[in-house]
Structure 1
């Protein structure tokens, strides 16, 4: 998971700020995402403060994660662009079988389990925002639009326990930390590693009410085919 960096305001030749509303949001399916994978990898490299000599490794790791996500059923990518790519977010529906939560430490909240079983949870697996975009709310706007496009009742993401910066960014956008889980190494990763401890974060999309202060709602009559 890549958290967006604090954007700097780009300046043109006249010193004017590029208007945020100039950005267009466009949904890409798996086939369309494949055709722009190299440009997305360039965006990732430009959006991270990699140490000298680490850009290639980070780029290849991003391409590996994207390739793995593209193969998931229901994959979708939302792209923000003007004359160039400014940001993207992608993910896929969480399978109703609950495999996303495998390795969860403790008992998964009941309403999260219910929403998963009914196919209303969408995994946001990566967010990338160029640091020079003028839209300071672009990361939030991308994730909210992706969830809305898929009529998800709940967003889900996993963040490495050691990545406090990314975790803090998600919490500032309204995500909730519901616990931790341990995942085995990804067999498709370019450089398999030991299992890591991850924080499980969720983003309810429903309104907060007196009966549902956490914004979690469950509609048992609606079942999604995931």
Structure 2
């Protein structure tokens, strides 16, 4: 489809520009020797606004970790196809979460992007439900990744 690559790049740049201004923004790159991957994100706001539009009841553990400032959103990740089976995505997300002492990773993925959803789930991310975001009929799949030491009880998700 003509222009698809341009629109994808334009959407990426819009998302990156928005996220750079969020408090605590962080980006990691991997080089070997050229760029082979990157991941970026920011701490999930404690006020719960990240989960705005969530359908149903947010799992209690997710709500608690968000309110305590121990959740980190991974809002962008790309790994060169030749590196995808080398564990690079896992190392990038692990490093972002560890650097921010997060006990929970969070991401929102377009629910129609099956490959992205499957990729996250194959790396241990758990699907906890759907988030509806304006404008238009944006429906996102909410995925979380428990990380580090568990809270007092086993996660409820």
Give the structure-2-normalised TM-score.
0.91
Is the CA contact (8 Å cut-off) linking 1:204 and 1:215 kept in structure 2? no
Q: How does 1:127-146 map to 2 (within 5 A)?
A: 127-133=77-83, 136-146=86-96
Q: Residues 198 and 111 (structure 1 numbering): CA distance in 2 closer, same or farther, change over 3 Å?
A: same
Count of matched residue positions in the alignment of Structure 1 and Structure 2: 157
Which of 79, 83, 101 pairs up with 2:29? 79
Does 1:158 pair with 2:100?
A: no
1:26-81, CA deviations, whole angstroms, 9 ceiling, x for partnerless residues? xxxxxxxxxxxxxxxxxxxxxxxxx5542222212211111011011110001101
Question: Which SS does the other structure have where 1:132 is aligned?
Answer: helix
The reply to whether residue 98 of structure 1 matches residue 40 of structure 2 is no
- Give the one of 120, 143, 149 matched to 1:201: 143
TM-score, reference length from structure 1: 0.64
Structure 1 position 132, deviation (Å) = 2.5
Q: What SS class does the counterpart of residue 103 from structure 1 fall into? A: coil
CA RMSD of aligned residues (A): 2.2
CA shift at 1:116, angstroms? 0.6
Conserved? CA contact 2:19–2:25, under 8 Å: yes
In 2, Cα distance between the equivalents of 1:208 and 1:114?
12
The CA deviation at 1:135 is 5.8
Identify unmatched segments of 5+ residues in structure 2.
none
Q: Which has the larger radius of gyration?
A: 1
Structure 1, gaps ≥5 residues long: 1-50, 186-193, 217-226
Report the alpha carbon displacement of residue 123 of structure 1 after superposing the two structures with TM: 0.3
Structure 1's consecutive aligned runs of 4 or more residues displaced over 6 angstroms after TM superposition are none
